[in-house]
Amino acid sequence: MIKIQEPSRPWEIVYMDWVTGLPPGGERSYNACLVIVDRLSKTPIFLPFHKDDTAMDTALLIWNRVVSWTGIFTDIISDRDPKFTSALWTNLHQLFGTKLSFSTAYHPQTDGLAERMIQNLEDMVRRFCAYGLEFKNCDGCTHDWCTLFPALELAYKTSIHANTNQTPAILEKGWNPKLPQDSLRKDFIEIHPTDASFKGILNKARKHAVRCMEDYFAYAKDKWDKSHATSDFKVGDLALVSTTNFNNIKGCKNLKDSFAGPFVIETLHGENAVEVELSEELINKHPKFPVSLIKPYNSSDFEKLPLRNKIPQAIPPVKPSGSKKITKVLKERKLRTNKVREYLVR
């Protein structure tokens, strides 16, 4: 397990990811949410969005709603969403001097903080919107989840995080904002620091949070390394790629080949990922894979085993992504199992 660089201040390194498949909410019928999480303080930002909005819309949303509060990010960790890999997004952050760190496919450990925050967000929203019993807006709508975000952010920022043993608000600003229930307590003491020791208190809290994260990483690394061997791949080696996440394989999935290949390793991306030269059948797949999904290819010694036949590795067919112009329908068939009609086209 490789450790991600630790930030020295809040909003230096952030995680970004999307929540899609939400019911229409708000005046503009939002159906998605952009989740931004600060790596140091664990402070979240929830921004309602449209699933079909472009990279330009995403950049404008962050500029208008986030940058005025956080400043320009130093590093953004995200998956390979088309918005995050677009030329506009890449060129824009090159001008800002922001590094873009992408996770490999089917490797959620890289942007795990955002994935975990999405689970927390869905769980919090579900408490209000799932059955329509606790929350309704003025129109009686139970799915107006957009109006919940400010209160959910405040509740999360004032709750102690398990990794840092501090609230995100303390690590970000140095003080916890006053909550509605605090007004009901007679013994409530104003917690906004005003003395000269404010900077020392804030630095002490952040250093303590960094130590807690380092201890947590050491614990997670020890558990991971016990069950995962280190990779010894080199450029030019032959490797097999796991077909576990190839969901478009025809025929019986239980009888499919567990690995496809062999493929030549072209580039090493650190110790956790490699880039291979895929065949034409897999040309629509991204060539970068985590080392957990590949294994070395061991060829047979045909001098010692002359009677062994050279059996080619079967490569599963992949449905082409994107829209292509169809010039002619060559053949058609209907599957009895799921009553689906398939067409062979040119």
C-beta separation of 296 from 233 below 8 A = yes
- Report the 3 state secondary structure along 229-282: CCCCCCCCCEEEEECCCCCCCCCCHHHCCCEEEEEEEEEEECCCEEEEECCHHH
As given in the structure block, the two tokens for residue 32 are 């998605």
pLDDT at 121: 76
pLDDT at 102: 82
Does residue 222 or residue 267 have the better pLDDT?
A: 267
Strands of 26-97, DSSP E: 32-38, 44-49, 75-78
pLDDT at 214: 65
pLDDT at residue 98 greater than cutoff 70: yes
pLDDT at 255: 64
Phi, psi of 90 (to 5 degrees): -65, -50
For a pLDDT cut of 70, what percent of the chain falls above it? Answer: 61
pLDDT at residue 245 greater than cutoff 60: yes
pLDDT at 314: 44
**Coil vs helix vs strand at 343:** strand
C-beta separation of 253 from 316 below 8 A = no
Which of 216, 194, 258 is closest to 113 using CA atoms? 216
pLDDT at residue 31 greater than cutoff 80: yes
Q: Which tens digit of pLDDT belongs to each residue from 104-153?
A: 665 555 556 667 777 777 777 776 665 444 445 555 555 578 878 888 88
Q: Residue 315: which pLDDT band, with cuts at 50, 70 and 90?
A: very low
| Residue owning tokens 């960790």 | 77
Phi, psi of 230 (to 5 degrees): -75, 150
Number of residues in the chain: 346
Q: Which tens digit of pLDDT belongs to each residue from 146-203?
A: 878 888 888 888 888 777 777 888 888 877 787 766 665 555 445 555 555 555 656 6
Domain residue ranges of the chain, discontinuous segments joined by +: 13-225, 238-345
For a pLDDT cut of 90, what percent of the chain falls above it? Answer: 1
pLDDT at 206: 62
As given in the structure block, the two tokens for residue 217 are 């990483």
The dotted CATH code for 13-225 is 3.30.420.10
Q: Which tens digit of pLDDT belongs to each residue from 278-294?
A: 777 776 777 778 777 78
Q: Which tens digit of pLDDT belongs to each residue from 211-241?
A: 666 665 676 667 766 666 666 777 878 888 8
**Coil vs helix vs strand at 315:** coil
C-beta separation of 127 from 155 below 8 A = no
Q: How far apart are CA 6 and CA 247, in angstroms?
A: 36
pTM for the full model?
Answer: 0.55
Q: What is the mean pLDDT of the chain?
A: 73
